[in-house]
């Protein structure tokens, strides 16, 4: 238990929670904005127009191939240097995570849309539905069902990836942890592990419900 007393120091927990709030805020805004971006991107990926498809392909591959860290540095330092677009660190994080989440979710949407047999659309058309009706009443509900488990998984990945924000100087939960460790370096030299342990638990508490929800939904829809 050596060093665990660091956690009882006044202000340690509130500050870690403040840091966690920054983490959750970035993740929540990114996931929230990724959903519409991803739905539109997924729809565009299934469009027949070859130009649109090519553009979407390049977008998806570019985002997939580039490490998120490199994208973050480009958004934060690169844009400022090239065009004097000075996005703040949090803004740069949200921008990158939305572009990334949107691309990944778009690909999931594309896969889900294409997995619905064409015959269903045709049947809906035969029953007299307009193309919008057949999309919104027949195709979309089934698409969302197939989409949910994988997109919840994507959301947990975004939560964890927010830790990269620390490299842009965002004071989120990891950085707060480092500050606390350093400020108590001489008083609690072995406190490091405890602080990181608490941070681990905090990430766990944020991500676990998402995993639980994904599993529950998968189970419920397995028999449909």
Using rule CB under 8 A, residue 132 touches another protein: no
Here the tokens at position 218 are: 């998968």
Q: Pick from 59, 73, 125, 196: which binds another protein (CB under 8 A)?
A: 73
- Candidates 29-37, 144-152, 164-172, 209-217: pick the segment binding another protein (CB under 8 A): 164-172
- Candidates 44-52, 53-61, 77-85, 153-161: pick the segment binding another protein (CB under 8 A): 77-85
Query: Looking at beta carbons only, is 2 or 115 nearer to another protein?
Result: 2
CB count, 10 Å around CB of 4?
13
CB count, 10 Å around CB of 102?
25
Query: Looking at beta carbons only, is 11 or 141 nearer to another protein?
Result: 11
The closest alpha carbon to 78, from 66, 65, 87, 90, belongs to 87
Using rule CB under 8 A, residue 167 touches another protein: yes
Number of H helices, E strands in the chain: 10, 0
Please state, in angstroms and rounded to a whole number, the distance separating the CA atoms of residues 102 and 37.
5
Query: Looking at beta carbons only, is 6 or 108 nearer to another protein?
Result: 6
Using rule CB under 8 A, residue 169 touches another protein: yes
Please state, in angstroms and rounded to a whole number, the distance separating the CA atoms of residues 160 and 103.
17
Question: Cα dist. 212→76, 148, 155, 207 in Å?
Answer: 34, 12, 13, 9
User: Binders of another protein among 182-221, rule CB under 8 A?
Assistant: 182-183, 185-186, 189
Here the tokens at position 50 are: 């070859």
Number of alpha carbons in the 13 Å side-chain half-sphere of residue 4: 3
Using rule CB under 8 A, residue 83 touches another protein: yes
Query: Looking at beta carbons only, is 142 or 178 nearer to another protein?
Result: 178
User: Binders of another protein among 10-39, rule CB under 8 A?
Assistant: 10-11, 15, 18
Query: Looking at beta carbons only, is 2 or 131 nearer to another protein?
Result: 2
Q: Which residues contact 148 (CB under 8 A, 6 or more apart)?
A: 214, 217, 221
Which residues make up the interface to another protein (CB under 8 A)? 9-11, 15, 18, 66-67, 69-70, 72-74, 76-78, 80-84, 86, 89, 167-169, 171, 175-176, 178-179, 181-183, 185-186, 189
């Amino acid at each position: 238990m050596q060093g665990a007393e660091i956690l009882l120091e006044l202000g340690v927990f509130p500050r870690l929670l403040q840091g966690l709030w920054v983490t959750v805020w970035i993740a929540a805004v990114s996931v929230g904005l990724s959903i519409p971006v991803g739905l539109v991107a997924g729809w565009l990926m299934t469009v027949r127009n070859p130009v649109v498809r090519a553009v979407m392909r390049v977008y998806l591959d570019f985002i997939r191939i580039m490490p998120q860290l490199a994208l973050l540095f480009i958004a934060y330092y690169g844009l400022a240097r090239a065009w004097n677009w000075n996005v703040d660190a949090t803004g740069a994080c949200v921008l990158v995570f939305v572009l990334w989440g949107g691309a990944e979710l778009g690909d999931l949407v594309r896969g889900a849309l294409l997995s619905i047999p064409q015959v269903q659309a045709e049947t809906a058309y035969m029953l007299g539905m307009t193309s919008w009706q057949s999309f919104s009443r027949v195709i979309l509900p089934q698409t969302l069902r197939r989409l949910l488990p994988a997109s919840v998984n994507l959301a947990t990945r975004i939560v964890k990836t927010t830790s990269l924000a620390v490299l842009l100087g965002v004071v989120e939960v990891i950085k707060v942890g480092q500050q606390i460790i350093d400020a108590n370096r001489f008083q609690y030299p072995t406190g490091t592990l405890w602080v990181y342990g608490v941070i681990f638990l905090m990430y766990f508490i944020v991500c676990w419900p998402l995993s639980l929800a994904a599993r529950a939904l998968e189970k419920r829809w397995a028999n449909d």
